[in-house]
Structure 1
Amino acid sequence: MNIVEYFLVPLLIGSVAKVATDPLLVELLNGKLRGRDNEGYYSYESIPYAEPPLGQLRFEPPQPYARRWDSVFNATTPPAYCMQWSQAVEGADKLVGVEDCLTVSVYKPKNSSRSSFPVIANIHGGIFMFGAPVEQSHEPIMARGNMIVVTIAYRLGPMGFLSTGDASLSGNFGLKDQRLALRWIKQNIARFGGEPENILVLGHSAGGASVHLQLLQEDFSQLAKVAVSLSGNALDPWVVQQGAHRRTFEMGRIVGCGLLEDSLELKKCLQSKNASEIVRAVRRYFLVDYVPVNPFGPVVEPVDAPEPFLTQYPIDIIKSGKFAQVPWLVSHTKEDGGYNAAALLIKQPNGRELIHQLNNRWYELAPHFLFYRNSMKTIDEMDDYSRDLRQRYLGNQKFSVENYLLVQRLFTDMFFINETLRTIDLQRQHRGSPIYYYVYDNPAERGIAHQLSSRDDIHFGTVHGDDYALMFDKTISRPRADKKIISNHFLSMLEGFAYSDTGALTYDNCDFPNNIGQKQLHYVLIRNNSCEALEITPI
């Protein structure tokens, strides 16, 4: 060995060792990627899991990303918004995002005492119309240092859920995106130090409903160990809706495809349009404000659809017993419907709140607000149902700001509580794995209902997202110092759930009762400084 070789060989060995142990450098089948050092954790963002859904891949099931990177992939760019008409954007133009958005982002804590980590795969909410991974925060979990977080971007609104009801344009592309992303996580997370045998799939609102819809696939147990649906499940009336055929052909008319009758011809025309033109057309579907809040969402597909995701209504899948046996936690807050009802407090051009219009327009607006416009067979049936609801919750009182909380209770019952109870009661009859349930009652100082209504003079109670904010620190709430304790209890609950060999679940000093084999429904009530196991009679 000459003197050059003598010095060069150790340098090369050292360089290889450095690459092999560099936590920012991860090698996938597609090639190497480089993440970012964020002091307390590492991030690997905007990693494509599917081919861009552009051109002829628009309105098609996602195709696995199979390209090879010629150089090291830069995984330091925050994930983009999938194109959407977002309720959260102020002003007349609510368009944000890009069509090429199908990525996952991985966040790994720095913890020298662990060689591997359990995984939370987080599916964001947004009523299937808007939202994004960048609106979720991973910092609280990173600060604890015990779990990897993976966030998923999926197609939304018309780009993710247009459906003519036949095989040509079957719909549910956003749910199929989620499914492919979960497969990517299972196959690749070990390369980041994750434990593929300890994956917890979690979602809030539409994300919670999405988790439940994924769980209703029999092979979901191959992708996840446990599942968590916060404030959303597959039976909620805003999830799987009817009438998609009519709305989709109307989209064709709006964007200039004409009065077509053939689904394939419609799809080809829509594939030729600018994506922003299609998404901007969403505003043409609203009666008032952002109502109906999700004109495009999950549908039942025909069995001959390409790679169908949902060919039966969720209730029929549950009754068949053909779904994954995975421990499942489902929840809601005490006044979850505050998110939906708060829009009624928005002042209209005449200076009066929208809620007053319900006195004269209840029969017109209620079916759209409450998602039964397309499920009733006749106008008389729809009107009778509207009349019964008003009588049950308001009696002979008028719709007014003073009676707002009565309407909020109606929304809470119909959108969250009723179907949560029914889902648990039905599903426990057809499965052996545990089903857990909690109710959260601890209001934030300023939650989403305050923001949507622009009012601070109403005590909304514990509304949509008040619990989720303590796990993923969303900016819609301002947690008090004492809520950091609750946040730690929630995160400890998730960590324990991911690691439990028996599927057992605990919050602070409260063990969750398993609803399998029980006569009553059992839940844990979580308040400011306490938790309590209680029971309720099924509906």
Structure 2
Amino acid sequence: MWRVTVLYCAFIVATVLSQGTGEDSRVVNLNQGSFRGLKSSDYNVFQFLNIPYASAPTGADRFKAPGPPPQWSGIIDAKDRRIICPQVSTLLHSTLVIQEDCLVANIYVPNTVQSNLPVLVLVHGGAYMLGWGSMDQPNELVSSKNIIVVTFNYRLGPHGFLCLGTEDAPGNAGMKDQVALLRWVRDNIAEFGGNPNDVTISGCSAGGSSVDLLMLSNMTNGLFNKVISESGCSVNLFSAQLNPVQNARDFALKHGFTDVMNLNALTRFYTDRGILSLFDESLLFAKDSYLVFQPCVENDLGQEIFLADAPENILISGDFKKLPVIYGYAKQEGIFRLPQFNEWSVEMNENFTNFLPADLHFDNETQKAEVARQVQKFYFQDRLVNDGTVSEYIDYFTDALFLVGILRNIPLRVRAGHTQIYLYEYSFTHSGSEVIPQLNGIRGATHCDQYLILFDHPSPSEERLNMALTMREIIYNFITTGNPTPPGSGSSLPTWPQVGVDRSPHYSVGSTIEVAGIPVRERAELWDDLYARYGATPQPPMLDDFVNTTTPDYEEETTTPEPNSATLNNVFSYKFWIVYTTVILIALK
């Protein structure tokens, strides 16, 4: 598909040579071909958009590692063709182009003659099921800080994370897309003025989980030298599948396919169906916080392996890249689950066991019920989950979804000799922050607020703008030195110490910025104890119980039912996605 697009662009290039010339454009010559980037009309930034960095295989090979990017002769205008990978948000905007061969990157370059600029690669979030690179618009960051920023698409959901442990579906196609992007940056970013030896990777939510996993993979050696992991890390529940084969079976059964003990048949279920029919937005709302299609521990098939063992095991072994890293989280990440509050609060009072994280494994239901009572009493005392305990509800999902993984991750790394770690909590709110209706208009710092403030925002309030400038200063310091508050920088910010094995100290970023002690100590200790006793370890695909029979024919589903409007409204009621949607709609104007 890319080759068709490229040939078409080459055909029309003669008609656009007069557009964007001189100081309004810049041509970059790569081995795969030449691109003309256009200068932004609003920022002093050149944008090279929708450049193919790899090819996503299709058909029976759709779950395999990416191939090389296409090649061509001539100059192609690197404009936004609005390409996104297949995902559950198919109706988000009618101008978005959904296609399987979707591996494109966007490079934002400041208008400068300088070369060897530091590079920031952003991995978008979205539960490994939603999102695309250009959702994050970094023009203000690029123009003010004189860095190059790269955003990109990677395969999502079953398309990127079906993990059968076979040659047809080895697993982690979406993560191997990310590796392919980093290799492309290594080989090409110098032509844009960037330094391939000074690359920082960052992301939030699934993006934060991704960049942390990239540190654990042997496929990424030498591809980056600093990491910023926001609202996610490698030991979060959403970072690794617990039982990949069972996940694949359960999803197929849910969608009407029953021959799930036949490996050939199960493989054909995924390879023969229309790609959009493999996406199910209901996976976003699991009460046990499990996303199902996410990275996995792989079988050794004699090819490159992205993740060879469970993340916690790799951290304990100490066999990982110990690079300068920042871990950040928003104080009230659990606001993310407020859209489900009215429904879930009732069930939490009746059966709290359904809301325990899926990576806690129990010997029997009695044991599970006892732990559920312990956790419920810890967060809600002897009170019901209702409007009067909404703060406790937010704290619970802050921990279960995001914070517990981050705080478990810190001591594992420090004990393994990883010292250059900085931890912060972001509690800053402003007039545009999320309102908590049950708390009479009080606003909270919700999921990924600390990340989104870095990017372009129309008409920000003065308080938001000031915090954006502060956060950009912190991030720029780290990108350029490996230290968020380096000595001699002239900054008025307090010195940010490295975190220790006890998770102290941490940086507190709110209405004031200060160095604080151990964050949410009692909550962290509760979960330390639970995971020490009941934590489940992600496993590679187990193939022993498949039967070897001939694959029967079945009716292939070639169309995808359109989600109803109520479902879509539920999916995008999250502030995280509302903000992202606003950003992309502005960019599409």
TM tier, shorter chain? 0.7 to 0.9
| SS of residue in 1 equivalent to 2:385 | coil
Q: Which residue of the partner structure matches residue 64 of structure 1? A: 68
> Does the 8 Å CA contact 2:61/2:168 hold for their aligned counterparts?
no
Amino acid at match of 2:78: A
Correspondent of 2:495 among 511, 520, 526 = 511
| SS of residue in 2 equivalent to 1:524 | strand
Q: Which residue of the partner structure matches residue 100 of structure 1? A: 101
Asked if residue 299 in structure 1 is aligned to residue 300 in structure 2, the reply is no
Change over 3 Å in CA distance of 1:304–1:508 after alignment to 2:
farther
Q: CA deviation at 1:57?
A: 2.6
Change over 3 Å in CA distance of 1:21–1:479 after alignment to 2:
closer
Higher relative contact order (CA 8 A, sep 6+): 2
Structure 1: distance between partners of 2:477 and 2:281: 43
Structure 2: distance between partners of 1:413 and 1:159: 29
Q: Deviations over 1:263-310 (max 9, x none)?
A: 34422342222111222xx1465777x985623112222233742211
Asked if residue 533 in structure 1 is aligned to residue 522 in structure 2, the reply is no
Q: CA deviation at 1:170?
A: 3.0
Q: Deviations over 1:473-498 (max 9, x none)?
A: 478xx853122122112212222222
Change over 3 Å in CA distance of 1:305–1:147 after alignment to 2:
same
Asked if residue 389 in structure 1 is aligned to residue 375 in structure 2, the reply is yes
Asked if residue 311 in structure 1 is aligned to residue 322 in structure 2, the reply is no
Q: CA deviation at 1:233?
A: 0.7
Q: CA deviation at 1:204?
A: 0.8
Structure 2: distance between partners of 1:431 and 1:232: 21
Correspondent of 1:437 among 404, 409, 423 = 423
Q: CA deviation at 1:224?
A: 0.8
Q: Which residue of the partner structure matches residue 481 of structure 1? A: 462
Asked if residue 43 in structure 1 is aligned to residue 29 in structure 2, the reply is no
| SS of residue in 2 equivalent to 1:120 | strand
Structure 2: distance between partners of 1:383 and 1:99: 44
Amino acid at match of 2:347: Q
| SS of residue in 1 equivalent to 2:120 | strand
Amino acid at match of 1:329: I
Q: CA deviation at 1:234?
A: 0.8
| SS of residue in 2 equivalent to 1:35 | strand
Instruction: State how 1:74-473 maps to structure 2 within 5 Å.
Output: 74-86=77-89, 89=92, 97-112=98-113, 114-165=114-165, 168-218=168-218, 220-253=220-253, 258-279=258-279, 282-283=280-281, 294-304=291-301, 306-339=303-336, 341-345=337-341, 353-363=343-353, 365-367=354-356, 370-372=357-359, 375-432=361-418, 434-447=420-433, 450=435, 457-473=440-456
> Does the 8 Å CA contact 2:106/2:134 hold for their aligned counterparts?
no
Change over 3 Å in CA distance of 1:256–1:49 after alignment to 2:
farther
Change over 3 Å in CA distance of 1:234–1:191 after alignment to 2:
same
Gaps of 5+ in 2: 1-16, 486-490, 526-589
Amino acid at match of 1:61: A
Q: CA deviation at 1:27?
A: 0.8
Count of matched residue positions in the alignment of Structure 1 and Structure 2: 495
Q: Deviations over 1:116-158 (max 9, x none)?
A: 4211100011111111212111122133051111002111111
| SS of residue in 1 equivalent to 2:508 | strand
Q: Which residue of the partner structure matches residue 55 of structure 1? A: 59
Q: Deviations over 1:490-535 (max 9, x none)?
A: 21222222221xx32217522221236x66622111122x321222
Change over 3 Å in CA distance of 1:38–1:284 after alignment to 2:
closer
Amino acid at match of 1:142: V
Q: Which residue of the partner structure matches residue 350 of structure 1? A: none
Amino acid at match of 2:148: I
| SS of residue in 1 equivalent to 2:329 | strand
TM-score (norm 1): 0.83
Amino acid at match of 1:483: R
Q: Deviations over 1:191-211 (max 9, x none)?
A: 111111211111111101100
Structure 2: distance between partners of 1:438 and 1:241: 27
| SS of residue in 1 equivalent to 2:507 | strand
Q: CA deviation at 1:168?
A: 4.8
Structure 1: distance between partners of 2:483 and 2:252: 50
| Bigger mean CA offset, 164-173 vs 188-197 | 164-173
RMSD (Å), alpha carbons = 3.1
Structure 1: distance between partners of 2:267 and 2:22: 48
Amino acid at match of 2:416: H
> Does the 8 Å CA contact 2:238/2:289 hold for their aligned counterparts?
no
Structure 2: distance between partners of 1:508 and 1:378: 55
> Does the 8 Å CA contact 1:489/1:508 hold for their aligned counterparts?
no
Gaps of 5+ in 1: 1-14, 347-352
Amino acid at match of 2:83: A
Asked if residue 497 in structure 1 is aligned to residue 478 in structure 2, the reply is yes
Amino acid at match of 2:515: A
Change over 3 Å in CA distance of 1:264–1:328 after alignment to 2:
farther
> Does the 8 Å CA contact 2:477/2:484 hold for their aligned counterparts?
yes
Change over 3 Å in CA distance of 1:515–1:220 after alignment to 2:
farther
> Does the 8 Å CA contact 1:205/1:230 hold for their aligned counterparts?
yes
TM-score (norm 2): 0.77
| Bigger mean CA offset, 121-130 vs 297-306 | 297-306
Structure 1: distance between partners of 2:366 and 2:247: 23
Percent identity, please.
Answer: 26
Change over 3 Å in CA distance of 1:422–1:317 after alignment to 2:
same
